[in-house]
Chains A and B, each alone.
Chain A
Amino acid sequence: MSARPAWLRSGRVVFGLSVVVLISLVALFAPWLAPHDPNEQTLLSTFLPPFWAKGGEAAFPLGTDSLGRCTLSRLIYGARIAMTVAIVASFGAMIIGAVLAHIAGYFGGWIDWLIGRTVDVWMSFPPVILSLILMVGLGTGLRNVILAIVLVDWTRFCRVLRSEVLVVTRRDYVAAARLIGFSHWRTITREILPATTPLLITLVSLEMGIAVIVEAILSFVGMSVGATTPAWGQMIADARQYIYDSPWNLVFPILMIFITVLGFNVLGDGLRRTLDVRLTETQRA
């Protein structure tokens, strides 16, 4: 028996977690890590390539954009927005989705029907269009980005979790808990929730990756944070106009999004493989 729990022994989890933790630390310590103020314009040195390319300067390790702003600093500060959205939005969506899923799966009957149909209707809207519509209605800003993601993506949690809750609810130990005198609330929190938590964790980590992308899309179309706050989607939008002059400015934010989402997805996949009881049971058999 190793001291490490099974889920920490998976290479996927270790890799995904390292990426996620690294980016979170970068976001957290952005003011100390960034070589420049992200909005500081050096108009004399615009479109600088990264330091290893010809004409690059060591003061701007990843070059500068059309206004002479340090790309590295903007990427580092952009991580703050990305991680904030990833964490807050996915937890928000998880809480709404999980609560409704547990209610629907546990009680069944008409309430299950009602929640199920609401999810169906909700999911029939294309998610990006729905979030754009919501953004138009709510107005721009970080808080509204998060709200839009929560309102769009809670259905993802609800649908997947509901079927899991349904399976667990049929186990005899849930019936036994009721017969012993557990209230519905206690039965759900003490008997069902511990069984659905692994799935919940997996879904949250996948949702974080999705939230990063949605935030990038929204800031790309200028509906997220204002122009003074650096965000990866915004950086892509800016660099798009000068794609032939300075392709680096496009490559770096895309690479950041790619790595972040990859980290979340590999983490989620690793957690699913190690925490999913059914999967591990069949492997053992």
Chain B
Amino acid sequence: MTLLEAQKLTVSASLDGERVPVLHDLSFSLKAGRVLGLVGESGAGKSMVGRAIAQLLPPGFAATGGALTFGGVDLVTMEPEARRALLGREIAFIPQEPLSALNPVLTIGRQFDEHLARIGVASRERRAAMLAAFDAVHLPRPAELLARYPHQLSGGMCQRVLIAMAFASKPKLVIADEPTTALDVTIQARVVQLIAEMQARDDTAVLFITHDLRLAAQVCHDILVLYAGRAAEYGPARNVFGAPGHPYTRCLQLANPAMRERRGLYALPERMPGLRAYNAMAGCAFAPRCPLAITQCTQAPPPLAEVGPSHVAACIRAARTAEIAPAAEPAVETPAAAPVILEASALTKRFASGGLFRRAEFTAVSNVSFALHENEFVGIVGESGSGKSTLARLIVGLETPSEGRIEIAGRDIDGSAEADDHRRRHVQMVFQDPQSALNPRRRVASIVTQPLEAAGHATWEERLARAGLLLREIGLPGEAATRFPAQLSGGQRQRVNIARALCAVPRILIADEIVSGLDVSVQAQLLKLLAALRRERGFSMLFISHDLSVVRYLCDRVLVMLRGEVVESGLTEQVFAAPAHEYTRTLLAAVPPDDSEISARPRESGDPVLGPGPPLSRG
């Protein structure tokens, strides 16, 4: 039977007295034992669905039309008292940031106990219930865990505790809002598997909200693709990903770098229109970015039309979606015998920790040696804490190595002022978080030409001219020069960040997780930008990332780091095709398969997630 059903649900925000729909005529249904994936870029309204269910809409937002029913009862018009009785018992949540969802001053046991008390478990049964719940999520030594505080656990463990808590009341519906975004790849795989396991055990319905198409393809039975608050496509996962009916779905798929073979990326231009902008549009909200758009598209909003068995898409050009293909990208020929430009030998960095009396040392980077050739992109992969970022900081000079040697363009970096100048001329760094890396009080033109300011003698006119050139090169409009970083989108800020590093024309770029936390279409734009810059300018790059598919797309060679050591290195193709080290195999296995492969892959009946569910019927 249908557990959760939305019928023409509309949620509106009031902006300066004007009512703007955030979710528009959204219809979907979720049955017990099924997983429905909500996917789309940030700002598509994914989280708003979860918030509408809990009626935790931000101030000024309200459900203004349609119905949202849970077990036949309308959640929107329900009494707050009745809803409270439902939430946490029948409807449970798994949050995005496990660490901030737990109270740091209470033990895990105390918090779980409170939750159990609320859902009505007798006090003498609670301990046994907690231990059983921890056992079900495979947490080791559950009895000890009860006395621990959240900060003593890793993010993955916290998330498992929260999953145990969410499923403790045997809820009928679990809402998981980006439950793995904050976690490492290997932990992400385990957490996803765990949610699937628990879901299969209790025949729970799960609403899985994610921006990661691969993850959705791996976990979900049905997929609802949202664009600008509207349903773009809705249907069984294998049909949606196997034969997308909406160009948006297809474009998102093509924006994700493939793991199996290297192919060109399709980068959606621009970004999703703002709330007000798409409200004013007469036609399809996706039309301005759509490669298939024709004049008809801008005249009337396309209705949801059948494109396959129980598979609908809101596109009048649905039949031609498969024609979208990324432009062929000229393959970058790996320099065969290019000279070495950066060489690190036996680099080690130890940090002192502990107090005055209990001195302890922590080795962040241990005996790392590698060489970077001219015009070569080398990827460094590993989980958080593997020493990737410390290695980057050692090379740019933000940290001093405890042992080992760095040689840049034939010169030993020995700590002298001349050597540091030499390094500065050759190496620049792009920081991870543009929010922190761009001075909020400087205008874009001032930021990107900071190297000229450092050199002295540059007039403001010269700097503006240079900023114009740089902005064109990184694909930002010229008027961005006079803006402040806060006035730019996340992707644009990251471009500014790259432009500043390029201003001094360095021969080596160190990029630390520069595409993480961005939407897949923005990520594709940046990756293509880096590839294009490399073709035009020719520079070397150390590209640090936890995302293997991105490294797969961009890098010639790859270093795999584990606990401060390089455990495997080699040509990207070779390492990905035939990993030699156990850890590399684990990392690769943890990456969800490419989403387009899901229809081709036979599903085993024992597979809890991908087991053939009952056929989808829409009411």
- A positions within 8 Å CB-CB of B: 171-173, 175-182, 186, 190-191, 194-195, 277
Contacts and interface: CB of A to CB of B under 8 A. Distances in A.
Residue from B433, B438, B450, B455 having most chain A Cβ neighbours under 10 A: B450
Residue from A175, A180, A191, A277 having most chain B Cβ neighbours under 10 A: A180
Contacts, number: 54
B482 interface: no
Contacts of A191: 439
Nearest to A194: B441
Contact of B436 (A171, A177, A181): A171
A180 B500 CA distance: 9
A173 B437 contact: yes
A195 B436 CA distance: 13
A171 B497 CA distance: 14
B451 A180 contact: yes
B93 to A, nearest CB: 20
Given A172-B431, A176-B500, A194-B441, A182 B436 contact: no
Given A171-B436, A172-B437, A177 B431 contact: no
Contacts of B438: 173
B454 A181 contact: yes
Nearest to A171: B436
A186 B441 CA distance: 15
A195 B451 CA distance: 20
A180 B431 contact: no
A132 B222 CA distance: 78
Given A172-B433, A195-B441, A177 B450 contact: yes
A199 B604 CA distance: 62
A179 B433 contact: no
Contact of B429 (A179, A182, A190, A194): A179
Contacts of B242: none
B125 to A, nearest CB: 41
Interface of B: 396-398, 421, 424, 428-429, 431-433, 436-441, 450-451, 453-455, 500, 504
Given A177-B439, A179-B397, 8 more contacts: A171-B439, A172-B432, A172-B433, A176-B437, A176-B450, A177-B450, A178-B398, A181-B421
10 contacts: A172-B431, A172-B433, A175-B429, A178-B398, A180-B454, A181-B421, A181-B424, A181-B451, A190-B453, A195-B441
Residue from A176, A186, A194 having most chain B Cβ neighbours under 10 A: A176
A163 B515 CA distance: 31
B445 to A, nearest CB: 15
Contact of B454 (A171, A182, A194): A182
Nearest to A182: B454
Contacts of A176: 429, 431, 437, 450, 500
Contact of B431 (A175, A181, A194, A277): A175
A190 B431 CA distance: 19
Which 8 residue pairs across A and B have the least CB separation, nearest first?
A172-B437, A181-B454, A172-B431, A172-B436, A173-B439, A194-B441, A180-B451, A171-B436
A173 B432 CA distance: 11
Contact of B504 (A180, A186, A194): A180
Contact of A173 (B397, B398, B436, B454): B436
A179 B396 contact: yes
A45 to B, nearest CB: 59
A180 B436 contact: no
B455 A181 contact: yes
A178 B421 CA distance: 11
A175 B450 CA distance: 13
Contacts of B429: 175-176, 179
Residue from A178, A181, A194, A195 having most chain B Cβ neighbours under 10 A: A181
A173 B453 CA distance: 15
A186 B439 CA distance: 14
Contact of B398 (A175, A182, A190): A175
Contacts of B431: 172, 175-176
Contacts of A195: 439, 441
A201 to B, nearest CB: 14
A176 B352 CA distance: 25
Contact of A179 (B428, B439, B455): B428
Nearest to A174: B439
Nearest to B432: A172
A179 B436 contact: no
Contacts of B451: 180-181
Contacts of B432: 172
B398 to A, nearest CB: 6
Contact of A180 (B421, B424, B433): B424
Nearest to B446: A190
A173 B442 CA distance: 11
Given A171-B436, A175-B398, A180 B441 contact: no
Contact of B450 (A171, A172, A180): A180
A178 B393 CA distance: 12
A175 B23 CA distance: 42
A247 to B, nearest CB: 52
A180 B453 CA distance: 9
Residue from A173, A175, A181, A195 having most chain B Cβ neighbours under 10 A: A173
B428 to A, nearest CB: 7
A13 to B, nearest CB: 20
A247 B609 CA distance: 87
Contacts of A180: 424, 428, 450-451, 454, 500, 504
